[in-house]
């Protein structure tokens, strides 16, 4: 079992910038069973913060002039960051922080604090492109722990600029196999392999276990398999791939397949798991708060994550 090493300076965590009011109410209603006595007594319960919500290309999306993307270009407040999570401690001013996926928006998502480690799910743009920001030109970290599969490690070690991070001692790679867990504070993160387009590396999802509940994070998958569905069923909360609402959103769906939100709701309708969608493409109508698609998602007992949303573990 791999174990984190915390070699970087800890800084106090900041309050999330954006938490929609309806999500705050929903969070309190769904997650009010957490026992906070351990926090009050000095324990270290974990919490998970959503740092981004959209697909690798972000919003605005290059080459797109739709109203959503143009609005984001005109007003930075309308920009949407690529999907990522931060796992940290509850009730701690100087929290240990672990980033899940290093996105192209990392300098907005990590902010002024450092991190103690990074979990990389696979080698596509939205999940690894932020790693060079830990290098000489930016944060210049010292032996920052990066947890990845052996294939992902080989990719990093054979490709610049990622290899230079290791050669200069700015990151320290920890090979973590499918089914292996990394222990941290009062919980753990387990690697679960999933089926996704193979481009240089394999792909994993993460089962994030705290002392009170378990969250399954699956940012990218080509299609639902029995194993992936069992992972969703096993968790209390699942944050899953919601790239497309329906297959007709883009004309090259077969080149970049993802299970559509409509299909996911059909195959999981009898699950007890609280299911939220992430990694939405800029074409996905459910990105729009007032859309009929967002309303249908909520009417059926699902929801879309928002940046700044937190879940206590």
Q: What's the rounded Cα separation, in Å, for the pair 160 and 299?
A: 47
Which band of pLDDT confidence, cut at 50, 70 and 90, is reported for residue 253? low
pLDDT of residue 92: 64
* Position 214 pLDDT exceeds 70: yes
| Non-local CB neighbours of 184 within 8 Å, separated by 6+ positions | 4, 46, 87, 96, 98, 117
Task: Supply 17's token pair.
Answer: 């910038």
Cα 246 to Cα 265: distance, rounded to the nearest angstrom: 12
- 192-228 in b/e form (b: 16+ CB < 10 A) is bebebeeeebbbbbbbbbbbbbbbbbbbbbbebeeeb
pLDDT at 19 over 90: no
Cα–Cα–Cα angle for 132, 138, 143, rounded to 5 degrees: 65
Measured distance CA(35)–CA(25) in Å, rounded = 18
Q: What is the pTM of this model?
A: 0.84
Q: State yes or no: pLDDT of 84 exceeds 70.
A: yes
Q: Are strands 84-89 and 97-100 parallel, antiparallel or unpaired?
A: antiparallel
CATH class name, domain 21-32+43-312: alpha beta
Considering Cα of 253, then 149, then 157, then 106, what sign does the dihedral take?
positive
Tens-place pLDDT, residues 273-295:
999 999 999 999 999 999 999 99
User: What is the pLDDT confidence band of residue 257, given thresholds at 50, 70 and 90?
Assistant: low
């Amino acid at each position: 079992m791999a174990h984190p090493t915390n070699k970087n300076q800890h800084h106090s965590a900041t309050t999330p910038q954006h938490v929609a009011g309806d999500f705050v109410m929903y969070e309190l209603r769904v997650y009010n069973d957490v026992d906070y006595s351990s926090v009050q007594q000095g324990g270290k319960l974990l919490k998970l913060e959503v740092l981004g919500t959209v697909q690798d290309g972000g919003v605005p999306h290059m080459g797109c002039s739709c109203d959503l993307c143009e609005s984001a270009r005109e007003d930075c407040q309308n920009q949407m960051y690529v999907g990522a999570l931060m796992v940290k401690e509850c009730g701690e001013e100087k929290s240990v922080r672990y980033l899940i996926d290093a996105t192209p928006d990392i300098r907005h998502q990590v902010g002024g604090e450092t991190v103690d480690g990074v979990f990389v799910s696979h080698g596509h743009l939205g999940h690894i492109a932020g790693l060079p920001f830990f290098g000489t030109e930016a944060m210049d970290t010292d032996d920052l722990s990066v947890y990845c599969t052996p294939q992902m490690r080989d990719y990093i070690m054979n490709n610049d600029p990622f290899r230079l991070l290791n050669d200069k001692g700015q990151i320290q790679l920890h090979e973590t196999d499918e089914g292996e867990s990394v222990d941290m504070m009062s919980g753990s993160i387990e690697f679960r392999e999933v089926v996704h387009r193979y481009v240089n590396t394999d792909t994993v999802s993460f089962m994030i276990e705290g002392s009170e509940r378990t969250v399954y994070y699956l940012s990218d998958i080509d299609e639902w398999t029995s194993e992936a569905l069992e992972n969703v069923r096993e968790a209390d909360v699942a944050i899953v791939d919601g790239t497309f609402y329906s297959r007709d959103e883009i004309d090259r769906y077969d080149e970049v397949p993802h299970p559509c939100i409509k299909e996911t709701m059909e195959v999981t309708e009898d699950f007890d798991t609280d299911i939220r969608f992430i990694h939405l493409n800029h074409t996905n109508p459910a990105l729009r708060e007032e859309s009929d698609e967002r309303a249908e998602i909520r009417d059926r007992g699902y929801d879309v994550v928002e940046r700044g949303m937190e879940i206590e573990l």
